[in-house]
Amino acid sequence: MEREYYTVEQISKMLSIHTKTVQRYIREGRLHATKIGKSWRVSGHDLSIFTGENEDVFTKASDIVNEDSVKASAVVDVKVSYKEEANRLINTLMATMNVKPPEYGKSSLHAQFLENESIVRFTLWGNIQFMVATLSSIEVFIDQKKEENRNE
């Protein structure tokens, strides 16, 4: 039986995510891969396990048509005035991850406070519903911050 192997670039195109995101999933152990020379290769079986789809779906990038197969990633930088504001924003969004509805599917949210730049950096990955809800939550925070600034 011949096994199909995919490069990081091929997986990136199939899943419409950045190659660095695929590499991060490999590094984090979320996507099993084998290093061949200087390149990573992922078997069709491991890719299907990672995505929760059948191997046959990944024979061509054009085969990916169902809504669960559409994933997005984003990096969002939010300027904050002080550390407590950063903590409030991070805690609020992380709490929403603990109660996320099942329709968000597999998704992730990573947060980092860059103190020297007064920025909270969020890295998001998930389906469109997850992305819209998370970005909307960030927008609510920004609107509240604007309102507080007007009232001062």
Q: What is the DSSP letter of 40?
A: E
Predicted local confidence at residue 3, as pLDDT: 66
- pTM here is 0.54
114: its two tokens: 């860059």
Q: Are 122 and 93 in contact (CB under 8 A)?
A: yes
pLDDT tens per residue across span 119-132 = 999 999 988 888 99
Q: What single letter denotes the amino acid at residue 89? A: L
- The angle subtended at Cα 39 by Cα 36 and Cα 44, nearest 5°, is 75
